[in-house]
Amino acid sequence: MAKKLSKKQIIDKLRIDEHYYGEFGRQWLSNSDIQNLQPSTFKQFGKVEPDNENFVKGRYFHQLILEPEKAKDFPIWSATETRGKAYKEFLEEKGLNFVLKESEAETIENMAKEIVNRNEQLTELITNKDALREEPFIGHIFGHEFKCKCDLISQGICVDLKSTSAKTIEEFVWLGKNKYFYDSQAFIYQTLTNKSMTFVAIDKAKKEYGNTGEFYHEIYVCPTSEETILQGKQKVERAVQIYENYHGKDKKEDIRNVIYNLNF
């Protein structure tokens, strides 16, 4: 296991998704664990989520930008535009839970092209030949072992790519801080990489330039503030305390004894 491996050997192994997201990688806490170590979710800690539509779409989007050699072999359903009997048989044959339709894949491909090509500075950041892509890191936070896998480390910045349904940059920031735990992600990533964190997001919905008939996807570039990092730190610290109470080696309480009590 990890204790018998050097740090380099661990990082090399964590570069492989099967190990990062599998049993080997579960030796470390991550931001996804922080979401399941909140006062209302801590009974779900350790639950492995099956592959689903959002995971598949996000994975294809990331591969197109960061690992195009993998994207070439991404399974796409092109036989029909519906998910009928033949589609279900295809899933069963391949052992998959969800496959993109051709039209969905094309939408994601257009988003990936736009985020890479529309802005010169952003293009340089993403396509920099010296950039690290899908690079794992490990380290200690509040006395516990954590891991992260950075989408991109380029020009001294840790960049995380997102696709979003937020309609404005203000909504994206609000949702990131109050719903999707981007603040705790930023704290963990910045702590483990020792680099500043920036989120780059693209709106899934198309918008039109006025009445021109020309459409585009909104792109948001959001460096993280000290306030966001502090808020994320507080979330992680609270989550670690919950982990120690209910899931740690020396846990103090049994989750089966917990009931919720709140006045209406």
**Averaged pLDDT, 58-85:** 93
- pLDDT beyond 80 at 211: yes
Regarding pTM above 0.85, the answer is: yes
pLDDT of 3-42, one tens digit each? 589 999 999 999 999 999 999 999 999 999 999 999 999 9
**Averaged pLDDT, 85-108:** 94
Q: Spell 168-199 as b/e; 16+ CB within 10 A means b.
A: ebeebbeebbeebbbbbbbbbbbbbbebebbb
Q: What is the DSSP letter of 249?
A: T
Q: What is the DSSP letter of 87?
A: H
**Averaged pLDDT, 235-259:** 93
pLDDT of 147-182, one tens digit each? 999 999 999 999 999 999 999 999 999 999 999 999
